[in-house]
Amino acid sequence: MKRLLGTLLGKAIFFAEKLFHRNASSFPGKLVLKCFPTYLNAVEYPSLIVMVTGSCGKGSATRLIADALRDSGRTVAHNLEGSNLLNGVASTVLKHCTLSGKMKQDALVLEVDERYLKLITKYITPHYLVVNNITRDQPPRQGDFDIVFGEILKGISETVHLIVNGDDPVTKQFALYHQDIAYFGIDRFFASYDKETDDVRDMNYCPKCHSRLAYTYRHYGSVGDFHCPKCDFARDVPDFRITSVNADTGELTVNGQQTITVNEMILFNLYNIIAAYTVLHAAGIPDESSAASLSQAHMQEKIYHTIQKHDRLYTALNCKAENNATYNLSVQYASLDRSQKTIVLGLREISRRYTFFDLSWLYDIHFERLNDDTLDKVVCAGPYRYDFAVRIMLAGIPKEKIILLDNLDHAGSVLAEQTKGNVYGILNFDYIEPFIRSVEEIE
């Protein structure tokens, strides 16, 4: 009876939202759980449940997994809208349930907030749980990455098959607490580096013996080929790894066998792809089919978007504010372009989760990578333009190379007339659309 009444209530709310042209993606779940707190326990779920959590890239990874499962002929329920807290997950379940409370899809694929995983897995037990990364993210909300690790650990059951980034010593720690784990990773490639840099490393010391970790190479931050000189804590050869990357052809090779063609040669995109490939293999999808499906995938325009104008390439890179990992990877991506370039930085609001604003994460970003002869200008835009400008000058970039703009509403003319080279907009989500719109206005 609880399952029937809860489903009827949720369906009625969805109908009312559609009738009044509203789209409150988490409200149906919120109301149903308020009336029936254990409703999710009563639902009959698909035979395959995949959850993805971590600091960043959850939405992109779940989209890759869901699309590939559909390509294989399976039906999929997926919280595509990104509502990844308990109420949003409940809304996704309600939306895809029959009136009897049964999900008839073959698979349920969920993006799950890292702090809410333990609440969601009280009701829904995944068969596969992907942890794509854990890094310093939203410091006022999350505190430290160790706190986030502990919160994720609370949501892991003994029966779940973990799929984690084996290149990251933070996520490799799960091996100290859980047995059933598959690892994904990326071998050394053109963006890897051997020398020490000023990149912020979340984890410097071995969690077992507390010796300082050593590296053969790194991709970014703490991520790379690590090992402890005094014990066995190390990056083992991942079960599924990208063994070669060809930037000219856009081809990746997985385990020296399957080839995947990508359109966006960005490091976090490569990690999302190999994570999805690992899940699909575990779920019984043939590797050839997975490779073919992932070769068709494109990053969402809200994350990566390019425009060609008058022999100049304009690239929008969506970087989550308060997360140095996404910013550092975007800075790295821009720095690999050895032609003349202009960088655009800015955001309208740091967070919508709380009323105070933290900018300490700006000092965890290695803007020094951009300070070379290929840099023409840095455009700092929005209400925090002066904060960005101060950080840029501390990176050694001359003041005369910095342009300040109130916003990006009409930045196209400034970019066209006052800057040179390819343009990389390393921006928070709220400035992606204004950046694209201003570039499209260039005559």
Q: What is the mean pLDDT of each run of 10 residues along the chain (443 residues)?
A: 67 63 72 87 95 89 95 94 86 90 94 93 96 77 77 93 95 94 96 74 89 93 93 95 93 95 87 96 96 86 85 91 80 91 91 71 90 96 95 96 94 94 93 93 85
So what's the pLDDT on residue 197? 65
Residue 40 and residue 349: Cα distance in Å, rounded? 35
CB 46 within 8 A of CB 77: yes
Residue 292 and residue 219: Cα distance in Å, rounded? 26
**Tokens representing residue 296 in the block:** 């068709």
Residues 6+ apart with CB under 8 A from 251: 245, 259, 260, 261, 262
CATH 3.90.190.20, domain 304-440, yes or no: yes
CATH 3.40.1190.10, domain 43-296, yes or no: yes
**Tokens representing residue 369 in the block:** 């990578």
Q: Output helix, strand, coil percentages for the chain, rounded to the nearest 5.
A: 35, 25, 40
Adjacent-strand bridge partners of 244: 253
Parallel, antiparallel or unpaired: strands 161-165 and 181-186: parallel
The position carrying tokens 């809304």 is 91
The position carrying tokens 């090779």 is 253
Residue 405 and residue 388: Cα distance in Å, rounded? 11
Burial profile 239-267: b = 16 or more Cβ within 10 angstroms, e = fewer: bbbbbebeeeeeebbbbeebebebebbbb
**Tokens representing residue 150 in the block:** 């502990």
The position carrying tokens 């973990």 is 162
Q: What is the DSSP letter of 360?
A: G
SS3 319: coil
So what's the pLDDT on residue 7? 77
The 3-state secondary structure of 366-433 reads CHHHHCCCCEEEEEEECCCHHHHHHHHHHCCCCHHHEEEECCCCCHHHHHHHHCCCEEEEEECHHHHH
So what's the pLDDT on residue 439? 94
SS3 111: strand
Ramachandran angles phi, psi of 29, nearest 5° = -65, -40
Q: Which secondary structure element, helix H or strand E, spans residue 69, and what is its range?
A: helix 58-71
* Dihedral sign (CA 116, 427, 218, 130): positive
So what's the pLDDT on residue 325? 79
So what's the pLDDT on residue 307? 93
Residue 286 and residue 291: Cα distance in Å, rounded? 9
Q: Which secondary structure element, helix H or strand E, spans residue 295, and what is its range?
A: helix 287-295
The position carrying tokens 């063609």 is 261
**Tokens representing residue 431 in the block:** 């400035």
Give every strand in the sheet of 258-261, ordered side by side: 76-78, 107-111, 48-53, 128-131, 161-165, 181-186, 240-246, 251-254, 258-261
So what's the pLDDT on residue 271? 94
Distance of CA 246 to CAs 165, 243, 292, 404, Å? 21, 10, 17, 37
Domain locations in the chain as residue ranges:
43-296, 304-440
Ramachandran angles phi, psi of 71, nearest 5° = -60, -30
